[in-house]
Amino acid sequence: MTSLLAPNEIQTISGYERSAYVSGKTVLILENGDMKHINLAEEQPKMVSMNLVGRVTSFSVSNDFSIFAVAVEEENVAKVMVYSLELDIGEEKAVYGTQYLSQEMCISQAAEIIACLSVLEERVHLQTFDVKDGINNCTGNIIAEKVPMNWQITFCPADEGVLCALGGGTAYLLRASGGHIENFSTILLPGVICHDWANDVNIMFGNKTGFLHIYRETIPLDVVDIRKLSEDILTDSVNIEIISIRSTSRRLACQTGSGIILLFDSNAESGPDWSSCRAFIISDFRLKSYHSLSFDFADENLLYDSGNALQTISIQFLSKLNSFNGDVVSVRHCSRIIGARATESTIITLDDTGLFAVFSKFTNRVLCSSRVPDAFFFTVLATSHKLLVVTKTHVESYTVMLDGLKAAESIFEKELIMVCDTINKSSQFFNQSFLFLRAAVDSYDMSTLAILYETGFIVFRTEDRSILMSQQVAGRKDTKQILFSRDNKFLMFLTKSDNVFCVDLSSRKILWSTDYKLHFFQSMGYSNATLLLLNQKFIVSRIKHGKDLSNVNMHASDIGFSITSELIEGCFFLPFL
Task: Answer yes or no: do 314 and 261 share one domain.
Answer: yes
Residues 293 and 163 in one domain: no
Residue after which a domain boundary falls, among 307, 331, 355: 331
Euclidean distance between CA atoms 253 and 232, whole angstroms:
18
- The dihedral formed by the CA atoms of 465, 470, 475 and 481, expressed in degrees to the nearest 10: -50
Would residue 153 count as lying in a domain?
yes
User: What whole-number distance in Å separates Cα of residue 405 and Cα of residue 328?
Assistant: 14
Residues 342 and 317 in one domain: no
Query: Which residues lie below 8 Å from residue 247, measured CB to CB, with a gap of 6+?
Result: 196, 197, 198, 204, 253, 266, 272
Q: Are 312 and 345 contained in the same domain? A: no
Instruction: Give per-residue pLDDT as tens, 227-270.
Output: 888 767 776 667 889 999 999 999 999 999 988 999 999 988 88
Nearest by Cα to 485 from 437, 525, 456, 514 = 525
Assess whether 353 and 479 both reside in one domain: yes
Query: Is residue 193 in a domain?
Result: no
397/278 same-domain check: no
Regarding whether 311 and 170 lie in a shared domain, the answer is: no
DSSP characters for 314-367?
A: ESTT--SEE----EEEEE--SS-EEEEEE-SSEEEEEETTSEEEEEETTT-SEE
Whether residues 44 and 117 fall in one domain: yes
Nearest residue to 378 via CA among 391, 368, 367: 391
With CA atoms as reference, report the closest residue to 96 among 52, 135, 57: 135
Return the bridge partners of 448, or none.
461
Q: Are residues 267 and 372 in the same domain?
A: no
Rounded CA separation 330/46 (Å)? 11
Residue 218 DSSP symbol: T
CB neighbour class for 144 (10 Å; exposed up to 12, middle 13-18, buried from 19): middle
- Contact between 67 and 58 (Cβ < 8 Å): no
CATH of the domain at 24: 2.130.10.10
Phi and psi angles of residue 173, each rounded to the nearest 5 degrees, phi first: -90, 125
309 in a structural domain:
yes
Predicted pLDDT at 559: 64
| φ and ψ at residue 227, rounded to 5 degrees | -65, -25
Q: What is the distance between the alpha carbons of residues 269 and 199, in angstroms, rounded to a whole number?
A: 6
Q: Are residues 249 and 160 in the same domain?
A: no
In a domain, 211, yes or no: yes
Of 188, 210, 229, which closes a domain?
Answer: 188
* pLDDT attached to residue 548: 84
| Torsions phi, psi for 82 (to 5 deg) | -115, 135
Provide the pLDDT for residue 406.
87
Residue 483 pLDDT: 80
Confidence at residue 360, expressed as pLDDT on a 0 to 100 scale: 86
**Structural domain includes residue 50:** yes
Rounded CA separation 465/414 (Å)? 14
Q: What is the pLDDT of residue 363?
A: 84
Stated as kind and residue range, the H or E segment containing 431 is none
Contact 318, 333 (CB under 8 A): no
Tell me which residue of 402, 390, 400 sits closest to 339, measured CA to CA.
390
Give the chain's domain count: 3
Q: Which of 110, 108, 102 is nearest to 81 (CA)?
A: 102
Q: Please give the Cα distance from 493 to 210 (Å, whole number).
A: 54
User: Are 549 and 532 a contacting pair, CB within 8 Å?
Assistant: no
Q: In the chain, which stretches have pLDDT less than 70?
A: 1-14, 87, 90, 231, 235-237, 382-384, 411-448, 451-458, 460-467, 469-477, 556-562, 570-577
In a domain, 565, yes or no: no
| 313/160 Cα distance (integer angstroms) | 32
- Which of the 8 DSSP states describes residue 107? E
Cβ proximity of 455 and 420 under 8 Å: yes
Nearest to 544 by CA among 533, 529, 534, 523: 529
Picking from 107, 32, 29, the residue whose alpha carbon sits closest to that of residue 63 is 107
Instruction: Give the structural domain span for 459.
Output: 337-553
With contact defined as beta carbons under 8 Å apart, do 7 and 573 qualify? Answer: yes
* CA neighbor of 308 nearest in space, from 287, 338, 329, 332: 332
Cβ contact 162:203 at 8 Å: no
What pLDDT is recorded for position 515? Answer: 87
Answer yes or no: is 350 within a domain. Answer: yes
Long-range contacts of 113-119 (CB under 8 A, 24+ apart): 113/137, 113/155, 113/160, 113/176, 114/60, 114/69, 114/80, 114/82, 115/153, 115/155, 115/163, 115/176, 116/71, 116/80, 117/151, 117/153, 117/165, 119/147, 119/148, 119/149, 119/151
- Are 40 and 173 in the same domain? yes
The answer as to whether 465 is a domain residue is: yes
Query: Of 188, 223, 251, which one is at a domain's C-terminal end?
Result: 188
Contacts of residues 285-290 at CB distance under 8 Å and 24 or more positions apart, as own/partner, are 285/258, 285/259, 286/334, 287/239, 287/243, 287/257, 287/259, 288/334, 289/150, 290/17, 290/18, 290/150, 290/244
- Both 26 and 152 in a single domain? yes
Please state whether 488 falls in left (phi above 0), alpha (psi between -120 and 50) or beta: left
